Amino acid sequence: PPRTAVRSASTSAAAPEAAEATGGAAPSETAAEEVEAQARVVLPTNESSENLLRIRHTCAHVMAMAVQKLFPDSKVTIGPWIDNGFYYDFDMEPLTDKDLKKIKKEMDRIIRRNLPLVREEVSREEAQKRIQALNEPYKLEILERIKEEPITIYHIGEEWWDLCAGPHVESTGKIQRKAVELESVAGAYWRGDENNQMLQRIYGTAWESEDQLKAYIHFKEEAKRRDHRRLGQDLDLFSIQEDAGGGLVFWHPKGAIIRHILEDSWKQTHLQRGYDLLYTPHVAKADLWKISGHIDFYKENMYNQMDVEDEPYQLRPMNCPYHILVYKRKLQSYRDLPIRVAELGTVYRYELSGALHGLFRVRGFTQDDAHIFCLEDQIKDEIRGVLDLTEEILGQFGFRNYEVNLSTRPEKSVGSDDIWEKATIALKDALDDKGWGYTVDEGGGAFYGPKIDLKIEDALGRKWQCSTVQVSYIFFYEE
């Protein structure tokens, strides 16, 4: 559904900053009314407004046309719409903020000309011929990946075109110039592969009206005020020390006491729910990760192995194999099931330096991780119990609006179809029993089992992936 740009609490919180900006005086009545008006604007999404999606897609093409007019040697790649706007990747020299202003002015000229957007269908051979005439190597590569025929092309007037399936607005004049902004430029590897050419990615935002753009800008300002990286520094909670390495978090005394209180509450809640607590090592023999399947399916996210007395060891990216080792250390009776174990286990995952982002994307973090060993006829009740526990813990922090996804078997996975079907049905039945609506994410499961993913909504209406419930069938073999 549409979301409000800023909640009421955010609006009142903006007042001290406004007063500071005017030398301590209270903001004028007109300024206060404008802030309040921006807070009331409902921002549509690509899903709720096809017109907005068409505008953003067309803006990407208009921007590409403007770039190639100003920088004739630039080569275009891809330009999709995204949640709050659009972007386009170009093979060209690095751009500056001054260049962005020039590009925006050229976009305004194209919009004012009210050029039609015309769809054309051509054969693969004709498309290839036209691309070669333009000397656009990336378009040729894109064409090779398009399986359907005929090939569709969209023209802006008679001056510029690109391979595209649409949709677009009827003409550039359908775009409101004052509802479009170019936001930033960043580097991006072609196809996301660090071995490929570094491209220039220009981000823009586009809306249906100027009021929506103003509300979005206000929303961004509020998000900036709440940026956890800024708050972590201002409140002296944590830091990431480059001397130690990127993505590795240092908790300072204030942050550590907050973490202690949260962890203590977590432990008490789990103990009350019938869980036993575990502490397990940070490293293990590499063979363990071969048995678990992580080396075959997850190796790109794991650190390189280390040599310990001529035997390879591995920093753990997951806690799962450790919990299974604890379970299978002795003969278990079915009468003891379900057995629930939980750990605040620190894991290490290799992330590219360009992907690191505060506490959201790190290389070492402590994971609230639990495993339940149970009989097949206990699965649904145990999943329901985990969902209830998740709801209880998230509710302690005021999170009550969830986006729920049921993620099914990915192409790269292990196990029989029968096992995957049973596990998926168990998750579905637990969700139905809980009464939660959900969306099916086809192919979004882990390599060893399907899962339920919960996204929570923050004070600004943004969604964040938070909790996951997975089901996997485990078999033990005695040699």
Dump the DSSP string for 81-135: EETTEEEEEEESSPP-HHHHHHHHHHHHHHHHTT-BEEEEEE-HHHHHHHHHHHT
Domain ranges of the chain: 3-39, 50-207, 244-373, 381-479
Distance between the two ends of the chain, CA-based, in angstroms? Answer: 55
Domain covering 381-479 in this structure, CATH number: 3.30.360
Q: What span, in angstroms and rounded, lies between the C-alpha atoms of 347 and 262?
A: 19
Q: What span, in angstroms and rounded, lies between the C-alpha atoms of 85 and 217?
A: 12
Supply φ then ψ for residue 147, to 5 degrees. Answer: -90, -30
Residue 183, Cα to own-chain centre: how many angstroms? 19
Q: What span, in angstroms and rounded, lies between the C-alpha atoms of 278 and 50?
A: 50
CA separation (Å) from 90 to 72, 329, 436?
11, 56, 43
DSSP strand pairing (439-441 vs 402-407): parallel
Q: What span, in angstroms and rounded, lies between the C-alpha atoms of 440 and 180?
A: 34
Q: Give me the tens of pLDDT residue by residue for the chain, a chain 479 residues long.
A: 222 222 222 222 223 333 333 333 344 445 445 545 555 677 888 888 999 999 999 999 999 999 999 999 999 999 999 989 999 999 999 999 899 999 999 999 999 999 999 999 999 999 999 999 999 999 999 999 888 889 999 999 999 999 998 999 999 999 999 999 999 999 989 988 888 999 999 999 999 999 999 999 998 898 889 889 999 999 999 999 989 999 999 999 999 999 999 999 999 999 999 999 999 999 999 999 898 888 888 888 898 999 999 999 999 999 999 999 999 999 999 999 999 999 999 999 998 887 888 888 899 999 999 999 999 889 999 999 999 999 999 999 888 888 999 999 998 888 888 889 989 999 999 999 999 999 999 998 888 889 999 998 887 777 888 899 998 876 444 43
Q: What is the predicted pLDDT for the residue at 192?
A: 81
Task: Determine how many CB atoms are found less than 10 A away from the CB of residue 304.
Answer: 9
Is-contact 439 405, C-beta < 8 A? Answer: yes
- Give the distance between the most distant pair of CA atoms in the chain: 80
Q: What is the predicted pLDDT for the residue at 321?
A: 92
Amino acid identity of residue 396, one-letter, is Q
**Angle at which helices 97-112 and 50-70 pack, to 10 degrees?**
110
The residue written with tokens 């033990």 in the block is 476
Taking alpha carbons only, the member of 114, 125, 3, 17 closest to residue 58 is 114
Is-contact 352 431, C-beta < 8 A? Answer: no
- The pTM score is 0.67
Residue 300, Cα to own-chain centre: how many angstroms? 19
Q: What span, in angstroms and rounded, lies between the C-alpha atoms of 469 and 371?
A: 10
CA separation (Å) from 382 to 68, 75, 213, 270, 344?
58, 55, 46, 14, 20
What is the token pair recorded at 175?
Answer: 């775009």
> Which three-class secondary structure string do you get for 35-62?
HHHHHHCEECCCCCCHHHHHHHHHHHHH
Q: Which residues of 430-448 are buried (b: 16+ CB within 10 A; e: fewer)?
A: bbeeeeeebeebeeebbbb
Level-2 CATH architecture, domain 244-373: 2-Layer Sandwich (3.30)
Is-contact 390 468, C-beta < 8 A? Answer: no
Q: Which helix (H) or strand (E) is 158 found in, with range? A: none
Domain covering 50-207 in this structure, CATH number: 3.30.980.10
